[in-house]
């Protein structure tokens, strides 16, 4: 197990190298001079070419791309992600302030989606063809097809504008006011979880249907076991294996979805940070965010793989 | 001289007969296939809705009641009425007209990225699966790295770095679509390349190119098409998301995603500005997904009800 873990962590390195280098090349090739973004337009008009070059040298933007990349890479290995060009603060500080917000949104959404979707999926599998099955299918289809910004706006119109039950946006820290923090989390979390809920529901249903046709379920039935025991003891664990994979893979989608959600609900998360950095050509921040999101995503995938072993005794890593 | 060469003539005749025979079952299969596809009401409904969207997009200049771009400040933020069936936006443009023109962007958004992904992804997968060895290793290593990254974030990063414009957004979506498609093609190629007819072709000395184009591609095309049809909805959503974030189409041109973004500011007072285009995206994507599901079911009846 330990050996497997080490190998998996080592395997992350080449992926991270490829992704970060790709982003580096793209940033390098992209139109728009970061120096021009940095200085107000009327000052640019007054600056001489020499002064511009000086500033470029100061920021290290005049060196060849592989030198800049290698430099960045060694700094990262030392735990230094560079400084934001615009905000003049270490990138690491920015990420540390923003990432928890995004992570909280993502984890709560996954939790909500699973707790709602898995029971419904099981129910519709046990009673196929019923009205619940039909409704479940429709809801699942809608969940996959609805753009999450549209879901967010619908929820705002209904629950914030008309019913006035919840605020339409804004963010309050947990440490400042826990009640208002939770209040402001509800709509974004519901929005983010809809798509995942739909996918999980469909998958739980089909996986459960498949497992219920297996020989060992027939055996259990012929032993005279009750439906409840068969579904929850014999079938559920096996049916959940593909569900866990998908939920894990969907976390990447959720991390991406938070970008949109953070903008609609004005949350100070990673998405807002990355988008502002992209528009402002704040290279170190873009690189740092991409790195952090990739690491988070890959760690979650690793966690998912490890979860298998605990669900399915046939899977043992490292032997 | 060849007219009296009877065996040759007979051979030729037989060939022409067998050709017409071959096309008849194909037509029949297509007929049965579409009957199976449209047997249930939902795919029928989805098909009708999509035709409506396509017609709206095609004839937008002729059927739009107003100019989709020219502002009319005296009519700003009017609720839906007889004059403006879907209301007007923040600077008085007719929402219905903008929806019709925006449909063109959404349909384009489905086709351009797809052609990019297909024209790069399918050949990569074929080469990777057929040649194996180090070519396969290198291609797959790079693709795996791309797949190890949340898709929409990669799309946003590439589109943002290339610079905000519709073309760049579509390129970004297309590039990110390469990896999954190449992977699928590779898997299918690997499984088909062990079939007897491929081994026979190889034994006869066929070139890799010939095996790829004549023996493998036609046999995996159906599976690729089904997967693509299930992806189109996601691609349209991606374009809408980019336009919503300001990374896609630039004002004043309408796209459903950018219309939602504009309306976002007036959600409290004039919700139709963003809810109408949002609903258009939802209905279109849902229809495409429904048709994709129907297509898969019709091709493989055993998968039905999954």
Q: Which residue of B has its CA nearest to A271?
A: B153
Q: Cβ separation of A157 and B275 shorter than 8 Å?
A: yes
Separation CA A198–CA A114 (nearest Å): 10
Least confident span in A91-105, A243-257, B98-112: A243-257
Residue B211: Cβ-neighbour burial (10 angstroms; 0-12, 13-18, 19+)? buried
Q: Which of A14, A30, A133, A149 to mutate to test the interface with B (most CBs of B within 10 A)?
A: A149
Is residue A2 less than 8 Å (CB to CB) from chain B?
A: no
* Residue B301: per-residue pLDDT: 52
Q: pLDDT tens digits for A186-198?
A: 889 999 888 888 8
* Residue B11: per-residue pLDDT: 43
Is residue A303 less than 8 Å (CB to CB) from chain B?
A: no
Q: Which of A37, A130, A150 to mutate to test the interface with B (most CBs of B within 10 A)?
A: A150
Q: pLDDT tens digits for B96-137?
A: 888 888 888 888 888 899 999 999 999 999 998 888 788 888
Q: Which residue of A has its CA nearest to B240?
A: A147
Task: Indicate the pLDDT class of residue B261, thresholds 50, 70 and 90.
Answer: confident
Give the A window 164-183 contacts with B, CB below 8 Å. 168
* Residue A319: per-residue pLDDT: 46
Separation CA A144–CA B233 (nearest Å): 9
Give the A window 181-220 contacts with B, CB below 8 Å. 206, 209
Is residue A65 less than 8 Å (CB to CB) from chain B?
A: no
Least confident span in A159-173, A203-217, A274-288, B7-21: B7-21
Distance set, CA A46 to CA A39, A61, A214, B200 (Å) = 11, 21, 77, 74
Q: Cβ separation of B278 and A256 shorter than 8 Å?
A: no
Q: pLDDT tens digits for B151-200?
A: 777 888 888 878 788 888 899 899 888 988 998 899 888 888 888 888 88
* Residue B153: per-residue pLDDT: 79
Q: Cβ separation of A15 and B148 shorter than 8 Å?
A: yes
Separation CA B258–CA B136 (nearest Å): 40
Averaged pLDDT score across all residues of chain B:
80
Least confident span in A130-134, A158-162, A218-222, B15-19: B15-19
Q: pLDDT tens digits for B30-55?
A: 777 777 777 777 788 888 888 988 98
Region class of B46: left (phi > 0), else alpha (psi between -120 and 50), else beta: alpha
Separation CA A142–CA A194 (nearest Å): 9
pTM for this model (two decimals): 0.79
Give the A window 259-278 contacts with B, CB below 8 Å. 259-260, 263-264, 274-275, 278
Q: Which residue of B has its CA nearest to A252?
A: B150
Token pair of A177 as six digits: 């006011």
Q: pLDDT tens digits for A266-305?
A: 888 888 888 888 888 788 888 888 888 888 888 887 887 7
Is residue A256 less than 8 Å (CB to CB) from chain B?
A: yes
* Residue A31: per-residue pLDDT: 67
Which 3 state secondary structure label does DSSP give A8? helix
Buried b (16+ CB within 10 A) or exposed e, A159-198: bbeeeeebbbbebbeeeeeeeeeeebbbbbbbbbbbbbbb
Q: Which residue of A has its CA nearest to B164?
A: A279
Task: Indicate the pLDDT class of residue A313, thresholds 50, 70 and 90.
Answer: low
Task: Indicate the pLDDT class of residue B19, thresholds 50, 70 and 90.
Answer: very low
Q: Cβ separation of A252 and B241 shorter than 8 Å?
A: no
Separation CA B135–CA B127 (nearest Å): 8
| pLDDT higher than threshold 60 for residue B288 | yes
Separation CA A18–CA A290 (nearest Å): 12
Averaged pLDDT score across all residues of chain A:
80
Q: Please name the residue that has the structure tokens 């403006």.
A: B84
Task: Indicate the pLDDT class of residue A112, thresholds 50, 70 and 90.
Answer: very high
* Residue B118: per-residue pLDDT: 93
* Residue B17: per-residue pLDDT: 44
Secondary element (H or E) of residue B58: helix B41-58
DSSP string for residues in B83-98: SSTT-B-TTS-BHHHH
């Amino acid at each position: 197990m330990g050996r497997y873990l080490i190998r998996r962590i080592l395997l992350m390195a080449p992926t991270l190298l490829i992704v970060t280098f790709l982003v580096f090349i793209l940033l390098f090739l992209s139109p728009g001079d970061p120096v021009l973004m940095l200085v107000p337009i009327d000052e640019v008009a007054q600056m001489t070419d020499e002064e511009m070059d000086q500033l470029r040298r100061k920021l290290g933007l005049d060196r060849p791309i592989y030198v800049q990349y290698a430099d960045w890479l060694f700094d990262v290995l030392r735990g230094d992600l560079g400084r934001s060009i615009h905000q003049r603060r270490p990138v690491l500080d920015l990420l540390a302030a923003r990432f928890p917000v995004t992570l909280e949104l993502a984890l709560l959404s996954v939790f909500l989606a699973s707790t709602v979707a898995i029971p419904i999926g099981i129910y519709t599998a046990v009673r196929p063809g019923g009205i619940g099955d039909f409704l479940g299918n429709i809801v699942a289809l809608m969940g996959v097809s609805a753009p999450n910004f549209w879901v967010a706006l619908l929820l705002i119109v209904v629950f914030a504008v008309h019913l006035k039950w919840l605020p339409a946006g804004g963010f309050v820290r947990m440490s400042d006011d826990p009640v208002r923090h939770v209040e402001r989390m509800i709509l974004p979390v519901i929005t983010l979880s809809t798509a995942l809920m739909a996918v999980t529901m469909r998958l739980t249903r089909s996986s459960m249907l498949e497992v219920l046709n297996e020989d060992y379920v027939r055996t259990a039935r012929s032993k005279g076991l009750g439906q409840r025991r068969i579904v929850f003891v014999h079938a559920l664990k096996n049916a959940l294996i593909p569900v866990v994979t998908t939920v894990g893979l969907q976390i990447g989608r959720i991390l991406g979805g938070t970008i949109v959600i953070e903008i609609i609900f004005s949350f100070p998360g990673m998405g807002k940070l990355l988008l502002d950095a992209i528009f402002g050509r704040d290279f170190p921040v873009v690189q740092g965010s991409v790195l952090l999101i990739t690491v988070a995503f890959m760690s979650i995938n690793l966690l998912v793989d490890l979860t298998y072993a605990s669900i399915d005794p046939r899977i043992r890593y490292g032997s | 001289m060849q007219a009296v060469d009877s065996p040759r003539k007979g051979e030729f005749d037989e060939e022409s007969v067998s050709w017409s025979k071959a096309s008849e079952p194909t037509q029949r299969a297509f007929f049965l296939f579409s009957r199976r596809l449209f047997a249930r009401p939902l795919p029928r409904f989805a098909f009708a809705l999509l035709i409506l969207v396509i017609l709206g997009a095609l004839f937008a200049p002729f059927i739009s009641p107003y100019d989709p771009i020219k502002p009319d400040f005296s009519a700003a933020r009017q609720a839906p009425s007889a004059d403006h069936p879907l209301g007007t936006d923040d600077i008085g443009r007719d929402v219905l007209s903008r929806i019709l023109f925006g449909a063109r962007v959404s349909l384009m958004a489905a086709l351009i990225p797809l052609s990019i992904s297909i024209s790069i992804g399918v050949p990569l997968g074929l080469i990777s699966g057929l040649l194996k060895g180090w070519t396969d290793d290198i291609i797959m290593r790079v693709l795996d790295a791309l797949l190890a990254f949340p898709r929409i974030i990669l799309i946003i990063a590439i589109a943002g770095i290339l610079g905000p414009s519709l073309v760049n957004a579509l390129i970004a979506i297309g590039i990110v679509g390469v990896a999954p498609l190449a992977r699928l093609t590779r898997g299918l190629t690997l499984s088909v390349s062990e079939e007897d007819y491929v081994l026979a072709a190889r034994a006869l000395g066929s070139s890799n190119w010939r095996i790829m184009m004549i023996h493998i591609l036609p046999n995996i095309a159906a599976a690729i098409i089904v997967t693509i049809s299930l992806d189109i909805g996601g691609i349209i959503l991606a374009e809408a998301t980019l336009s919503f974030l300001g990374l896609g189409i630039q004002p004043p041109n309408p796209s459903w995603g950018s219309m939602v973004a504009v309306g976002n500011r007036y959600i409290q007072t004039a919700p139709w500005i963003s809810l109408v285009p949002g609903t258009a995206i939802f209905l279109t994507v849902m229809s495409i997904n429904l048709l994709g599901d129907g297509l898969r079911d019709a091709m493989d009846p055993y998968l039905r009800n999954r």
